[in-house]
Amino acid sequence: MDWLEVSVEVDGEAAEAVSEVFNRYGHGGAVIEEAFGEMGKAVSGTLTVKAYLPFENGQAAGQREIEEALWHLSQLYPIPVPCFRHLSEEDWAHAWKKHYRVLHIGQHLVVKPSWQTYTPDPKDVVVELDPGMAFGTGLHPSTRLCLTALEKYLIRGMKALDVGTGSGILAIAAAKLGANSVLALDTDPTAVKVARANVAANKVEHIVSVQSGSLPTLEPQGQAFDIILVNILAETIVELLDEGLVHRLKEAGLIVAAGLIKSQETMVTEALNAQDVNIVECLQERDWVALVGRKEEQGMGDEG
């Protein structure tokens, strides 16, 4: 199958809006790329948001809808005209690889593209990744913030839930950092397929279960999760909270909510507070933030 790549270069706030459009129409969702220098530092404030559309019989499904949606967004944000590039299956398979490199995140986490070589230090926790057409490479600030929070707060033996797993990067990192079990969920069939392949490549199938869906069936309190990771759109996080995401969390359990820009922090914080989750830390990189919240224990908020 041939593909049509659509891309736009925007700042952080506009990237969130463009990603929502691309997630709606792009096969496998949006990919957000940030340029890095030799020392692994971001070199500009510009992000490139890409999506891939199946191209058959001289046309790409969703192209017109994307162009129209971007035009409407351009009335609110400085969004340039999108660039389109026709790719064969083979061209696509190699084109996106040039953007990825070995990344060091937090104290010991290393994200290594599967096609690159790397000799780890003894203390390195290496996640080998082939993102395919699924979001989650470690390049995006929200992914890096989640990984940093995960390394800081995950305790060996925890039971983890990763909602919107994408490539499976967070679920795999949780397993390698010592989680006893990880349930990774995604509604996109492509993401489920890619995540399962990455889980197998990292040899953590005995810890990580990748399934299709957005929320797991309610479990008995003793089987609830110690930590929940949700790195998706802010509006979707709020919807999941309204649908009972926090009910899947043990008392005093942790939730890491990311994929947010600074202007959305208050909205998500209020939604978490409404579910008796107190914010214990806010991590920030440029315009992007990740919130770490802890669920109140029963009786903690009661008076006298």
Q: CA 246, 144, 8, 198 torsion: positive or negative?
A: negative
Domain end: 80, 98, 116, which one?
98
Residues 79 and 164 in one domain: no
Residues 49 and 167 in one domain: no
Residues 92 and 138 in one domain: no
Q: How many structural domains does the chain have? A: 2
Non-local CB neighbours of 213 within 8 Å, separated by 6+ positions: 185, 186, 187
pLDDT (tens, 9 = 90+) of the chain, 304 residues, equals: 788 889 998 876 788 788 878 877 777 667 777 655 444 444 556 788 888 888 888 888 889 999 999 999 888 888 888 999 888 877 766 766 666 788 899 999 999 988 888 999 999 999 998 766 556 566 678 889 999 999 999 999 999 999 999 889 999 999 999 999 999 999 888 889 989 999 999 999 999 999 999 888 776 655 699 999 999 888 999 999 999 999 999 999 999 999 888 889 999 999 999 999 999 999 998 788 999 999 998 765 554 4
Give me the domain span that covers residue 243: 134-295
| pLDDT at residue number 222 | 58
| pLDDT at residue number 304 | 41
E strand segments, the chain: 2-10, 31-36, 42-56, 59-60, 83-87, 103-105, 109-113, 125-129, 159-163, 181-186, 208-212, 225-231, 249-261, 277-285, 288-295
For position 21, which CATH number holds?
3.30.70.120
Residue 193 to residue 182: CA distance in whole angstroms: 16
Q: Name the token pair of 240.
A: 């999941």
| pLDDT at residue number 137 | 66
| pLDDT at residue number 257 | 97
For position 230, which CATH number holds?
3.40.50.150
Residues 45 and 172 in one domain: no
In-domain check, residue 180: yes
Residue 113 to residue 99: CA distance in whole angstroms: 10
In-domain check, residue 127: no
Under 8 Å between Cβ of 194 and 132: yes
